[in-house]
Structure 1
Amino acid sequence: MSDVWSISYGELALRLVVAAVLGGIVGWERELNNSPAGFRTHILVSVGSALIMLISIYGFSEFMQEPRVTFDPGRISAQVVSGIGFLGAGTILRQGVTVSGLTTAASLWVVAGIGLAVGTGFMFAAVLTTMIALISLELLNRIETGMLKKRSLCVIHVTVIDEPGKLGELASCIAEQGGNVRRVKIEERDKDVAEELDITFMVRLSERMAIAELLDQIRQIRGVKKVRSEGYER
Structure 2
Amino acid sequence: MDEYHLHVGEMALRLLLAVVMGGAVGYEREFKKRPAGMKTHILVCIGAALIAMIQQEITWSSITFAMDNPKMIGVLSADNARLIAQIVSGIGFLGAGTIIVNKDSVTGLTTAASLWAIAAVGIATGMGFYALALTSWVCVLAALTFVSHLMPLPRTRRLLVELENWDASNDFIQEYLDEHKIKVEDMDFEIKRLPHETFRTYSVIYTLTVPRGMSEKNLLLSLSSNPHILKIRLIN
Amino acid at match of 2:9: G
The residue that corresponds to 1:201 in the other structure is 207
Bigger Cα displacement from structure 2, 132-141 vs 80-89: 132-141
How many angstroms does 1:136 deviate by? 1.0
- Cα separation, 2, equivalents of 1:73 and 1:46: 19
Correspondence list, 1:29-48, <5 A:
29-48=28-47
Amino acid at match of 1:142: H
Q: Which digits, 9 at most, give the CA deviation of each residue in 1:170-203, with x for residues without a partner? A: xxxxxxx99485xx6867889xxxxxxx763212
Correspondence list, 1:82-161, <5 A:
82-145=89-152
Unaligned ranges ≥5, structure 1: 158-176, 191-197, 207-229
- The question of 1:73 aligning with 2:72 is answered no
Indicate conservation of the 8 Å contact 1:19/1:47, yes or no.
yes
Matched position secondary structure for 2:151: helix
Q: Which digits, 9 at most, give the CA deviation of each residue in 1:194-224, with x for residues without a partner? A: xxxx763212369xxxxxxxxxxxxxxxxxx
Indicate conservation of the 8 Å contact 2:18/2:49, yes or no.
yes
Percent identity of equivalent pairs: 38
Unaligned ranges ≥5, structure 2: 67-71, 162-180, 193-203, 213-222, 229-236
Instruction: Count how many residue pairs are aligned between Structure 1 and Structure 2.
Output: 181
The residue that corresponds to 2:15 in the other structure is 16
Indicate conservation of the 8 Å contact 1:95/1:185, yes or no.
no
How many angstroms does 1:63 deviate by? 3.3
Indicate conservation of the 8 Å contact 1:115/1:126, yes or no.
yes
Indicate conservation of the 8 Å contact 2:98/2:112, yes or no.
yes
Matched position secondary structure for 2:35: coil
The CA RMSD measured in Å over matched residues stands at 3.5
Indicate conservation of the 8 Å contact 1:54/1:120, yes or no.
yes
Amino acid at match of 2:209: V
Q: So what's the TM-score if we normalise by structure 2? A: 0.64
**Residue 48 and residue 142 in structure 1: after superposition, are their counterparts in 2 closer, same or farther (change >3 A)?**
same
Q: Which digits, 9 at most, give the CA deviation of each residue in 1:115-165, with x for residues without a partner? A: 0000111111111111111111111222334x76xx9979599xxxxxxxx
Q: So what's the TM-score if we normalise by structure 1? A: 0.65
**Residue 94 and residue 83 in structure 1: after superposition, are their counterparts in 2 closer, same or farther (change >3 A)?**
same
**Residue 7 and residue 187 in structure 1: after superposition, are their counterparts in 2 closer, same or farther (change >3 A)?**
farther
